[in-house]
Amino acid sequence: MPRSVDPSLNRRKLRLALKAARDKRGLTQRQAADVLEWSLSKLIRIEAGTVSLSVTDLRAMLLEYGVDDPELIAELEEAARGSKGQAWWSEYNNVISQPFAQYLGYESAANAIRGYHPSLIPGHLQISDYVTALFEAGQSDTRAQQRIDLRIARQERVLHEDGPEVEMVIDEAALRRQVGGPATMRRQLLFLKELISGQRATLRALPFTAGAHDSLDSSFFLLGFQDDEDVLYVAGPGGTLTNRDDRELVARYQECFEDLRNKALTEDETVTLLDELIEQFHRT
């Protein structure tokens, strides 16, 4: 499904334009909210791109910020109208937390996704049998099928031909761990190999010989944008975190990914490893 239909893209366009206009006007968020006679939380949500924006409220903001370019105003009004649609994940709202919904909004607008998981195939790359085996290994949940469907729908969007550039470092532990058994792993590894050969994703294996590194206990993803800073998503023993504003923390994980990339096998070496493991799982 083309990502352009997603309202998160329009909300992102509004967020960037309105923040730039406010900064140019020299107003803090508090000052802007006071001038508009709005609550600070309303302005923060608009600038975070987590809510839709009415054309009426948009015009009030543009007036206070001194934006008078007719073409820009028309473009932003169109974005405001498009910000009210349903997000692609709305049918899964009962199994999605608000923080994760916010992350999905960022992910839907990203131009690039880089990531690493220390023990599993990253969720963006999991085949349906692998996903099902993961959920079956956990506690029984009547909503498990919805969670499975959500993950597969998310993968289809990310790996779509109009989707973002995808680069993942996959730990050797994840490639060898028999999630769902040998047959499932064989199909999973064949899928990864197809992604590499089809140039739909850049995948590199991190061998055991790489030793210790800075992200052994957590998975993380960096969302890249052409017109904005990276957004970081971390999941580990301490829970999950989506971060856009702590630039030091984001920089730490950017450096971590570069370290992992340097320690990982080349793509050709990764394909060789995949072939070896596919044969091993075939014999198992």
Q: What is the pLDDT of residues 37-70, one digit of tens each?
A: 999 999 998 988 878 899 999 999 999 999 999 9
What is the distance between the alpha carbons of residues 265 and 263, in angstroms, rounded to a whole number? 7
3-state class (DSSP) for residue 244: coil
Per-residue DSSP letters for 88-119? TTGGGGGG--HHHHHHHHHHHH-SEEEEEESS
Tokens of 244: 């856009």
- Mean pLDDT computed over 249-257: 94
User: Contact at 8 Å (CB) between 110 and 223?
Assistant: yes
- This prediction has a pTM of 0.81
Q: Which CATH code for domain 92-283?
A: 3.30.870
What is the distance between the alpha carbons of residues 102 and 6, in angstroms, rounded to a whole number? 13
Confidence of residue 140 (pLDDT cuts 50, 70, 90): low
Confidence of residue 139 (pLDDT cuts 50, 70, 90): low
Q: Which CATH code for domain 3-82?
A: 1.10.260.40
Backbone torsions φ then ψ of 168, nearest 5 degrees: -125, 140
- Mean pLDDT computed over 4-28: 87
> Which residues, in sequence order, are bridge partners of residue 271?
none
Instruction: For the chain, give every domain's residue range.
Output: 3-82, 92-283
108 vs 26, more confident: 26
What is the distance between the alpha carbons of residues 77 and 74, in angstroms, rounded to a whole number? 5
What is the distance between the alpha carbons of residues 67 and 75, in angstroms, rounded to a whole number? 12
User: Contact at 8 Å (CB) between 114 and 224?
Assistant: yes
For position 186, what pLDDT does the model report?
98
Ramachandran quadrant class, 19 (left: phi over 0; alpha: psi -120 to 50; beta: rest): alpha
For position 142, what pLDDT does the model report?
74
> Which residues, in sequence order, are bridge partners of residue 233?
221, 242
